[in-house]
Amino acid sequence: MENIKPILVVKDLKKYFPIRSGVFQSVVGHVKAVDGISFTINEGETMGLVGESGCGKTTVGRTILRLNEATEGSVVFDGMDILKMKKRDLRKIRPQIQLIFQDPYSSLPPRLPVGEIIGEAVRQHKIVPQEEYNDYIAKIMTDCGLQAHHVNRYPHEFSGGQRQRICIARALALKPRFIVCDEPVSALDVSIQAQIINLLKDLQSKYNFTYLFISHDLSVVEYISDKVGVMYLGDMVETGSKEILFKNPLHPYTEALFSAVPVPDPDRKINRIILKGSIPSPANPPKGCKFHTRCPKAMPSCSFIVPEMLEKEKNHFVSCHLYDPNIDAKVAAYEAEHGKVEVKVEEPKQ
């Protein structure tokens, strides 16, 4: 365990999309899709990233890979800051960082045969010598549960699960070290989901891949992940190992999110936490803690002081005033600078 080293270090990552209006398309605001998140993934590890729709999970993955250009922050992959790389240098490490898309139907070019889809980038980046090319593509297809003799078939001739295997094979063919899995099973039937998840785990054991696994399905995240990050409205609110996080969630949002996980036991009662109100707009997020407008445990300080990420226990971080021993001092310092703040905490509206 001592030899484990970080392969990806994300620090204060921000991605703002401009809002334009008027005849001259002037910038009148920004959608804060990702608003200063930080996390680390070790080599050979899987980090699950969860949260409601619109919280910025997919944007995180795409920004890490520079499919979106970041607004601020750093993404250090194997000691190199991806965000500061020139395009020529970035192209050299492209094979090492890959993406498995959410939709296996729209992410495959319909006019190319499967062998060309998988092998196009292999040939471009010269992953193997030309004389070994055909055997290499056949091996990759076999590793991903595809028949090698289907190499000349087209995507429309395959089922949804087979198409997702093609997407995995396309990523695997470049011999990557880090793969962003953007909800890779959400478009599949439950039985097929299990096959794809087990395939990803088997490939990780065989090739020591590192995954960032983005998903809505908490049961899948619990099964495949080593650590979990919980996002809300562009912020990371809690991170920790899956054992700690699922056993002892601390943030009120994490508690509500995990209470929605179905349990296959009809005799076990779940204390379901229903969040009231709707998610605020990322173009105009609430001041202070972004979750305070929906939080059942909100305090007056939550409406004007941004919570810090605190290590509550070893490798378990949470961003919440409930666990900040210095919150009273922070409130006093804020009021000394801005004057006394009168805040009435109201119940969230339906």
List, for residues 266-323, the tens digit of each pLDDT value: 777 777 788 887 789 999 999 999 999 999 999 999 999 999 999 998 889 999 999 9
Q: How confident is the model at residue 343 (pLDDT cuts 50, 70, 90)?
A: low
CB count within 10 Å of CB 76 equals 17
Q: What is the pLDDT of residue 1?
A: 44
Could you read off the pLDDT of 77-110 as tens digits, one per residue? 999 999 999 999 999 999 999 999 888 888 899 9
Q: Measured between alpha carbons, how far is 165 from 171 in angstroms, rounded to an integer? A: 10
* Residues contacting 108, CB < 8 A, separation 6+: 117, 155, 163, 166, 167
> Which residue, 244, 251, 248, is CA-closest to 230?
251
Beta strands in the chain (DSSP E): 6-21, 26-42, 46-50, 72-77, 80-81, 97-100, 178-182, 210-214, 227-232, 235-241, 309-313, 316-319
Q: Measured between alpha carbons, how far is 105 from 160 in angstroms, rounded to an integer? A: 7
Which amino acid does the sequence have at 60? V
Encoding tokens for residue 202? 């088997």
Statement: residue 350 has pLDDT above 50: no
* Phi-psi group of 340: left, alpha or beta (phi > 0 → left; psi -120 to 50 → alpha; rest → beta): beta
